[in-house]
Chains A and B, each alone.
Chain A
């Protein structure tokens, strides 16, 4: 529902954005924090053994450099079985394992020791329904001339399913992320559409024949949904009619020094991955 109404608010803003320009602004600088990108996604039809966790630090807002974190200790534990998966430092900010055992509905704990401080996070692996159809059309979406992709799936019967979609077109620098839940569509066959609006200012082209779109669809926990929902809302910047931006908190707790919390998230999900070539 919200997913439909939010664009409307964005559209109010579109009408107003007759005159936007890029300006120099002084911003405050927070202490630099550990950033955790620990996304253990179990792609359907694979073993899910190979997993990567990336650690970086945050940077001042206008800096363009990225700083990798090396020398951390990274482990993931299956809470029920007590099985521990060690992630090896690749000295480039990534930590990898090839022995991860994914299990639906299992809860996992991430533990990171970095700079003498210990961070922990927990998440539960949620299932994702199969994609039953992908097709293209122009009828729907904001622009009835632009091509949009449709992903069809049937929401699980029980209420409380949450989804994350990621759409990537290789020629674009940034992916599109969307969240969904079944609050208003529980148990229904869902047709989820994705469209790129023509934007002459930013030189973004709508979907055109020949374009490849890589799609991933994750079954996610409610708390991760809440996190991503805010992250996505604030991603492109926050306009006048959108909620005042907030500092979104992930699930990585610093148990040594709680004020020095980490950014990012530890998620475990079941995932569909597909590619679609626009005709």
Chain B
């Protein structure tokens, strides 16, 4: 058996190499002498490298955009050119070059507006429709735009801002995570400086873990996920921290109702390096404690980044994040959770055409619960070590190649009970710890086929080994879940023994080829058509049978009983700029289906569950939709209108367990299904002092399960429930407003302050986060109770910079 597996594996490797070879050879056409110009683009003010700046040769179609580290490389035939560097919001730079040899040019460009951190009147480059690149289904958000948007309680929140764009939703206020194109929260790969973030929320989802002061840029891939990413089927959210000001010391901060924050940046080693350290802390707990309250909720986080330039071709980066939520109820209950990450990176430029980055990454999420009265602690965690090597080869002006490899070692600790006293009536317990190794190899080409047609195509090969060192339960007839014909319910299977796998053994191994491809066809200077396909495999799953993820949900790897999720996504798009990019429009349609998506049997119990396989059935999900985005990019008034029409469904047949399955094997709505989703966001800049922002949101209500009858039993009215997710919460809508005021300041004053006044949910709509059904305690009559989290919420924040 093992031999077979290996042969299969090698065959795939071989195939992979052949594809690579084919792609390289297919482009070696012209032998005319060409030269390369390469270098870095950064901001003159703070030395931050710029991601996505365009560098091109005027009068030709030869051009490139800078990568995540600000690096560019372009190749052209011998000759005299004008090199043009543009980045919206920045002043263009021109450089005459005589291309007779390979050359290096580093550019420092300055922001168009003379004053620092003024409202950008012109949207950034990434916010306009990008026509020539095949990249589609991507949302980029400028951190300055995020900071200008009205938010609840004045807490700037990247995740909430992304939800204003098409295809991105959440599961209601006060719930964590986000959903992309009808996908589940655990199907998003969230990266902070390449490290995986397992839980993106603070305070159960009121706020996100990203401190905007420490973030440089945010990119969300809703589809067309490039081959260098893998492991989650729905989306990739790539968040990158600032490198830190390499020119001078700066401090940025803010004082708000919920939290205060401070970020310090400064050069290091005579401008050979720089650092950023940013902290944020909430203070509701301090106030509650001062008020003599026993209960408290708090969070804090710390972002760190430093880099050191060894020489022109070598640079080191070290970044870290540490965040924690703590929550206490009286003296008896305490709970805390958080992410910690660290990443050491080495940028190495082999030559003017070959850029590389090696990363060693650590990431952990853990959850702790202490119950004093019952005398025990509960802890669970997921830890991973990740080594990855990415290279980019700027082969010619028509062909660029990305390739690399990665390996992630996971350790899952699904839960331990530790009695805290000798007299505790709770016995110690350790759920089986699990280990796994996920590896990936990829190659991706960006290939300009003709003047009008550009393709991006690639392949990722991913493999996953569930490692031994634990027992696996075996079930009668190999059925962890069994359908009870008589009662019409799914029940846990009968355990008949267990197999112990030694540490060196692999319990189960999976391998998948994941092709990715997209095409951009330029119709004219202002419009283009794009099409994309991507196949992605996901090997780890977040177990949650609640309508919203909670911090105690645990991750579990694929293995004997859980197969990897496999999704195929197809998308088509039309992109157009109007009036010389003053306006832009993006329209996309997509269809995606995911195999092996699990759902939970009625009455499933996931807490402290060692045998998850007895609680789940394997199904499939599909989602499709239309997304429209219309933006106004220039002028005093900027903003966008976004509309999504979509469907997201799941089908879970009984399969091996027998029976028809969940909901009789019929398709049912996933909790992430939103038929209509409209978001309007606008900002108006009156003058240098005053600017205004607004958001308007309308969404179809979330699918939920409501009662369809009642009966009396044990003196209580018991509800019977209708089919899974066959009802809906009332529609969600709200309006937010904000005003930014920058007081008069002397031109030379170091301190620059700004007041932000906001009103969230201005017309005080009571949006239902949930509707629960129960008996009125006095009359005994059944009633529906709505929980609305935020009514009208005014806020005030003071931001400063010096």
Q: Which residues of A contact B (CB under 8 A)?
A: 1-2, 4-6, 8-9, 11-13, 15-25, 27-30, 32-33, 35, 37, 39, 56-64, 66, 139-144, 166, 168, 172-175, 177, 183-186, 188-191, 193, 202-204, 226, 229-231, 234-251, 253, 258, 261, 263-265
Q: Per-residue CB proximity of B477-491 to A under 8 Å, as 1/0?
A: 000000000111101
Q: Which chain B residues border A204 with CB–CB below 8 Å? A: 777
Shortest Cβ gap from B781 to chain A (Å):
5
Contact of A246 among B425, B426, B705, B711 (CB under 8 A): B705
A230 touches B787 (CB 8 A): no
Q: Which chain A residues border B771 with CB–CB below 8 Å? A: 23, 25
Contact of A19 among B705, B783, B789 (CB under 8 A): B789
Residues of B748-802 whose CB lies within 8 A of A? 766, 768-775, 777-789, 791
Q: Tell me the complex Cα distance, A139–B715, Å.
A: 30
Contact of B708 among A61, A172, A177, A202 (CB under 8 A): A61
Q: B61 in the interface, Cβ–Cβ < 8 Å?
A: no
Q: Per-residue CB proximity of B292-320 to A under 8 Å, as 1/0?
A: 00000100000000000000000000000
B716 touches A28 (CB 8 A): no
Interface residues on B, range: 35 or more
Most chain A beta carbons < 10 A, residue from B704, B707, B775: B707
A59 touches B714 (CB 8 A): no
A241 touches B550 (CB 8 A): yes
Q: Which chain B residues border A251 with CB–CB below 8 Å? A: 487
Q: B499 in the interface, Cβ–Cβ < 8 Å?
A: no
| Interface pick from B113-121, B141-149, B237-245, B328-336 | B328-336
* Also in contact, A188 and B425, with CB within 8 A (given A30-B708, A61-B719, A258-B488): yes
Can you show 28 pairs from A to B with CB atoms below 8 A apart?
A: A4-B371, A8-B369, A11-B329, A21-B785, A21-B786, A27-B706, A28-B726, A33-B709, A33-B711, A58-B711, A61-B708, A61-B710, A62-B781, A64-B781, A140-B332, A142-B333, A144-B330, A144-B332, A173-B777, A173-B778, A173-B780, A177-B714, A240-B769, A241-B548, A244-B547, A244-B724, A244-B725, A249-B489
A185 touches B426 (CB 8 A): yes
Contact of B772 among A191, A193, A238 (CB under 8 A): A238
B787 touches A247 (CB 8 A): no
Q: Tell me the complex Cα distance, A186–B716, Å.
A: 30
B603 touches A230 (CB 8 A): yes
Closest to B424 in A: A188
Q: Per-residue CB proximity of B539-576 to A under 8 Å, as 1/0?
A: 00000011110101000000000000000000000000
Q: Which chain B residues border A230 with CB–CB below 8 Å? A: 602-603
A23 touches B718 (CB 8 A): no
Chain A interface, DSSP helix/strand/loop, else mixed? loop
* Also in contact, A263 and B772, with CB within 8 A (given A19-B789, A140-B332, A244-B546): no
Q: Tell me the complex Cα distance, A5–B486, Å.
A: 32
Contact of A61 among B333, B374, B707, B766 (CB under 8 A): B707
Shortest Cβ gap from A58 to chain B (Å):
4
Q: Which residues of B contact A (CB under 8 A)?
A: 172, 174-175, 204, 297, 329-333, 335, 369, 371, 373-374, 376, 378, 417, 425-427, 429, 486-489, 491, 545-548, 550, 552, 600, 602-605, 607-608, 671, 704-716, 718-722, 724-727, 766, 768-775, 777-789, 791
Shortest Cβ gap from B189 to chain A (Å):
24
B785 touches A237 (CB 8 A): yes
B602 touches A23 (CB 8 A): no
Contact of A16 among B547, B718, B768, B789 (CB under 8 A): B789
A185 touches B720 (CB 8 A): no
Closest to B773 in A: A237
Q: Tell me the complex Cα distance, A8–B332, Å.
A: 11
Q: Which chain B residues border A263 with CB–CB below 8 Å? A: 711, 713, 718, 720
Q: Tell me the complex Cα distance, A168–B297, Å.
A: 34
Q: Which chain A residues border B373 with CB–CB below 8 Å? A: 139-141, 193
A-B contact count (CB 8 A): 261
B785 touches A234 (CB 8 A): no
* Also in contact, A142 and B330, with CB within 8 A (given A240-B175, A246-B705): yes
Q: Tell me the complex Cα distance, A12–B333, Å.
A: 12
Most chain A beta carbons < 10 A, residue from B331, B486, B709, B777: B709
* Also in contact, A58 and B607, with CB within 8 A (given A20-B785, A140-B373, A237-B772): no
Q: Tell me the complex Cα distance, A59–B704, Å.
A: 21
A19 touches B773 (CB 8 A): no
Q: Which chain A residues border B297 with CB–CB below 8 Å? A: 15
B710 touches A59 (CB 8 A): yes
* Also in contact, A246 and B787, with CB within 8 A (given A29-B709, A142-B333, A173-B777): no
A1 touches B333 (CB 8 A): no
A30 touches B705 (CB 8 A): no
Q: Which chain B residues border A37 with CB–CB below 8 Å? A: 712-714
* Also in contact, A247 and B710, with CB within 8 A (given A20-B788, A27-B727, A236-B774): no
Closest to A259 in B: B488
A175 touches B707 (CB 8 A): no
Q: Tell me the complex Cα distance, A235–B779, Å.
A: 16
A142 touches B706 (CB 8 A): no
Shortest Cβ gap from B708 to chain A (Å):
4
Q: Which chain A residues border B175 with CB–CB below 8 Å? A: 240
Q: Tell me the complex Cα distance, A68–B120, Å.
A: 71
Q: Which chain A residues border B425 with CB–CB below 8 Å? A: 185, 188-191
Q: Tell me the complex Cα distance, A250–B788, Å.
A: 33
Q: Which chain B residues border A28 with CB–CB below 8 Å? A: 706, 708, 722, 726-727
Closest to A61 in B: B707
Q: Which chain B residues border A62 with CB–CB below 8 Å? A: 781-783
Shortest Cβ gap from B129 to chain A (Å):
37
Q: Which chain A residues border B779 with CB–CB below 8 Å? A: 173
Q: Tell me the complex Cα distance, A226–B707, Å.
A: 20
A177 touches B716 (CB 8 A): yes
Contact of B487 among A64, A247, A249 (CB under 8 A): A249
Shortest Cβ gap from A1 to chain B (Å):
5
7 tightest A-B contacts by CB? A237-B772, A237-B774, A246-B602, A140-B373, A30-B708, A35-B711, A58-B711
A246 touches B603 (CB 8 A): yes
Q: Tell me the complex Cα distance, A35–B775, Å.
A: 18
Shortest Cβ gap from B414 to chain A (Å):
13
Contact of B787 among A19, A57, A265 (CB under 8 A): A19
Known interface pairs A240-B548, A245-B705; 7 further A-B residue pairs with C-beta atoms within 8 A, sorted by A's residue number? A2-B605, A20-B785, A184-B608, A202-B777, A234-B718, A240-B172, A250-B487
Q: Tell me the complex Cα distance, A166–B726, Å.
A: 33
* Also in contact, A58 and B720, with CB within 8 A (given A16-B789, A19-B791): yes
Shortest Cβ gap from A262 to chain B (Å):
9
A144 touches B709 (CB 8 A): no
Q: Which chain B residues border A241 with CB–CB below 8 Å? A: 204, 546, 548, 550
Closest to B604 in A: A243
Q: Tell me the complex Cα distance, A230–B721, Å.
A: 12
B784 touches A56 (CB 8 A): no
B602 touches A247 (CB 8 A): yes
A144 touches B331 (CB 8 A): yes
Shortest Cβ gap from A217 to chain B (Å):
14
Shortest Cβ gap from B369 to chain A (Å):
6
B784 touches A239 (CB 8 A): no
Q: Which chain B residues border A29 with CB–CB below 8 Å? A: 708-709
Q: Which chain A residues border B332 with CB–CB below 8 Å? A: 140-142, 144
Shortest Cβ gap from A8 to chain B (Å):
6
Q: Which chain B residues border A64 with CB–CB below 8 Å? A: 780-782
* Also in contact, A2 and B607, with CB within 8 A (given A20-B786, A185-B427, A263-B718): yes
A174 touches B775 (CB 8 A): yes
Closest to B429 in A: A184
Q: Which chain B residues border A144 with CB–CB below 8 Å? A: 330-332
A22 touches B716 (CB 8 A): no
Shortest Cβ gap from A204 to chain B (Å):
7
Most chain B beta carbons < 10 A, residue from A8, A61, A230, A248: A61
Q: Which chain B residues border A246 with CB–CB below 8 Å? A: 602-603, 705, 721, 724
Q: Tell me the complex Cα distance, A29–B709, Å.
A: 6
Shortest Cβ gap from B421 to chain A (Å):
13
